Amino acid sequence: MRASTFVAQTISDLSQAPTIVVPVIGGHSGVTILPLLSQAQPPLPSTITESEIEALTKRIQFGGDEVVQAKDGAGSATLSMAQAGAHFADLVLKAKNGEKGIISPSYVHLTADVEGGKKVSSEIGKELEYFSVRVQLGVSLF
């Protein structure tokens, strides 16, 4: 959600933030966060320069620090995590109610989906237990 908001700010159209999807893989903070700006939907405008992409990447990676600084060290970026959790819960409820085609980047246990997890691990070149990947949410068949 942070990545989508920062992209919307970069293109000077915050109204677009809810419709922008930026896949983010990796960890929870700093350089472990890897926004895949080249896969953003809709695609980033071709007018965005390489230096703007670098600045945007760093801002996405360290955006939580902006919140802590704004709170003068008296808090954390937990509200951002809560908003993301609420958004994901909303998607899960929509899927449970039968809505189709709901795809969301999600941090998942790869061995929970044996075939899909093996494919992701082989593409990365390492055996991983958890990774952030796009998943399709839906009603369980089991």
Between the alpha carbon of residue 65 and those of residues 25, 29, 95, the distances in Å are 19, 9, 33
Query: How far apart are alpha carbons 104 and 19 in whole angstroms?
Result: 13
Q: Phi first, then psi: what are they for 93, rounded to 5°?
A: -65, -40
pLDDT of residue 117: 75
Of residues 134 and 3, more confidence is placed in 3
pLDDT of residue 124: 73
pLDDT of residue 79: 73
Q: Phi first, then psi: what are they for 32, rounded to 5°?
A: -75, -15
The DSSP secondary-structure symbol of 48 reads: -
pLDDT of residue 17: 87
Which positions ≥6 away from 57 have C-beta within 8 Å? 35, 37
Between the alpha carbon of residue 124 and those of residues 19, 135, 136, the distances in Å are 28, 17, 20
pLDDT of residue 99: 94
pLDDT tens-place string over residues 24-63: 887 777 888 889 999 999 999 999 999 999 999 999 998 8
Domains of the chain and any CATH numbers: 2-70 (3.90.110.10), 78-137 (no CATH)
1 and 80 Cβ atoms separated by less than 8 Å: yes
| Per-residue confidence band for 141, with pLDDT thresholds at 50, 70 and 90 | low
pLDDT tens-place string over residues 55-111: 999 999 988 777 777 778 776 777 777 888 898 999 999 999 999 999 887 878 877
Residue with tokens 């941090």: 107
**Residues designated catalytic:** 28
| Per-residue confidence band for 114, with pLDDT thresholds at 50, 70 and 90 | low
